[in-house]
């Protein structure tokens, strides 16, 4: 959804202090640009809710009619009241903004005549509606709660999905089960208590803060990379060597067309951010195309390799594991966005139709009480069934120093 191609002249309209007389803005029916050039968050929210395309973005177009000589991020902070400067910087650096048709950076200088276009998320709904949704609690006290996230649920309200999230489920739990609540940090963006996130179809350990002190201290641990996060994934192909450190920069896909703008890629330019993933191979499997009940020599005859790998994230880029593995030719099973295929049983039954990626363990210093807290999330049924089926043809076990124990995960 584009917010409209018609343009409204800002000249002669009332200007707020610091407004840019002569600024132009794209407007849909009813208008997205207020007098003075600011984006109207209520109008943008209505445009999102009335759109029939859930994956569409709200595009705002601004044309400068006076000399400003300022940075893009600073200018947009004054125009978009429901987003902070740091949020806008992340949005710009993800490739969502252009100046005169070219992908821009936060530090891009603006001048008279420049045309800015930026794809905006909707202003968040501030009221979280409690919903009775089952949660798998791994640990909880008065300061933090750690959950085993299930597949096909998002962490917090976003875009047009305002219900059915983990935040909605937590709001209900605190009202009816355990008491307490989430930290107020991020409340204005419908993300109270959210310290980190997992993708919709990724399962496993995720921690939420129940008070502000815990939130800030946990956030500092993630920022300084003292949180230990270990993932398990099943990928297509024979991953080698047994131990590797992947250091490839990740940035937004260069295309902003639907189907591509949500993706990230390895890119060696100013939009690529340093990204480091440690890979340990745990098991390799040779899956023959035909199973006849007799021993099969791995790699002999028609078939394909799969690998169970453990991943230790040293940075936290969006889709980092998925991008790194796909780029190297080992896409995650079921990850259709990055080239992975669903895994089918020999009878044609789908065993794994989503990305086979699980946040297996999470360890951090308790933000209030001190001491190291470590939690483990058992593998979900579909991923455990995938591993069991692959093991049926034989296993090439790999012993790598520093690896987590698999028996605690139900393997």
199 included as an active-site residue: yes
Q: What phi and psi values does residue 321 have, to the nearest 5 degrees?
A: -60, -45
List 40, 73, 93, 199, catalytic entry: 199
Q: Are 193 and 216 in contact (CB under 8 A)?
A: no
Give the 3-state secondary structure of the chain: CECCCEEEECCCCCCCCCCCCCCEEEECCCCCECCCCCECHHHHHHHHHHCCCCCCCEEEEEECCCCCCEEHHHHHHHHCCCCCHHHHHHHHHHHHEEECCEECCCCCEECCCCEEEEEECCCCCCCCCCCCCCCCEEEECCCEEEEEECCCCCCCCECCECCCCHHHHHHHHHHHCCCCCCCCCCHHHCCCCECCCCCCCCEEEEEEECCHHHHHHHHHHHHCCCCEEEEEEEEECCCCCCEEEEECCEEECCCCCCCCCCCEEECCCCCCECCEEEEEEEEEEEEECCCCCCCCCCCCCCEEEEEEEEEEECCCCCCHHHHHHHHCCCCECCCHHHCCCCEECCCCCEEECCCCEEEEEEEEECCCCCCEEEEECCCCHHHHHHHHHHHCCCCEECCCCCCCCCHHHCC
Q: Which residues are known catalytic residues?
A: 199
């Amino acid at each position: 959804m584009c917010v409209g191609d018609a343009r409204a002249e800002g000249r002669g309209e009332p200007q707020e202090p610091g407004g840019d007389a002569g600024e132009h803005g794209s407007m849909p029916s009813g208008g997205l640009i207020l007098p003075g050039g600011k984006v109207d968050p209520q109008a943008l929210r209505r445009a999102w809710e009335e759109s029939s395309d859930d994956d569409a973005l709200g595009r705002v177009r601004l044309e400068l009619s006076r000399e400003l000589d300022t940075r893009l991020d600073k200018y947009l902070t004054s125009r978009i009241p429901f987003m902070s400067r740091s949020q806008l910087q992340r949005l710009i650096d993800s490739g969502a903004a252009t100046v005169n048709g070219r992908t821009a950076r936060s530090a891009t200088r603006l001048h008279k005549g420049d045309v800015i276009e930026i794809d905006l998320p909707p202003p968040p709904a501030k009221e979280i509606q409690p919903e009775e949704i089952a949660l798998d609690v791994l640990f909880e006290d008065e300061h933090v709660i750690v959950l085993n996230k299930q597949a096909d649920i998002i962490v917090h309200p976003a875009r047009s999905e305002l219900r059915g999230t983990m935040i909605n489920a937590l709001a209900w739990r605190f009202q009816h089960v355990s008491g307490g609540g989430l930290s107020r940090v991020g409340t204005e963006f419908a993300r109270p208590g959210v310290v980190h996130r997992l993708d919709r179809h990724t399962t496993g350990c995720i921690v939420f803060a129940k008070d502000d002190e815990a939130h800030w201290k946990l956030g500092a641990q993630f920022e300084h990379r003292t949180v230990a996060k270990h993932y398990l994934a099943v990928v297509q192909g024979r991953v080698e060597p047994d131990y590797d450190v992947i250091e490839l920069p990740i940035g937004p896909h260069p295309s902003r067309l639907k189907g591509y703008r949500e993706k990230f890629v390895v890119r060696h330019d100013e939009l690529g951010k340093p990204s480091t993933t440690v890979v340990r191979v745990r098991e390799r499997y040779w899956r023959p195309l035909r199973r006849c009940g007799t021993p099969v020599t791995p790699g002999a005859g028609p078939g394909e390799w799969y690998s169970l790998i453990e991943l230790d994230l040293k940075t936290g880029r969006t889709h980092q594991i998925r991008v790194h593995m796909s780029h190297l030719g080992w896409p995650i099973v079921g990850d259709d966005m990055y080239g992975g295929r669903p895994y089918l049983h020999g009878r044609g039954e789908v065993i794994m139709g989503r990305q086979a990626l699980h946040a297996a363990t999470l360890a951090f210093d308790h933000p209030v009480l001190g001491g190291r807290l470590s939690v483990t999330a058992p593998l979900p049924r579909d991923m455990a069934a995938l591993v069991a089926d692959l093991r049926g043809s034989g296993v090439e076990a790999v012993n790598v120093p520093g690896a987590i124990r698999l028996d605690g995960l139900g393997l």
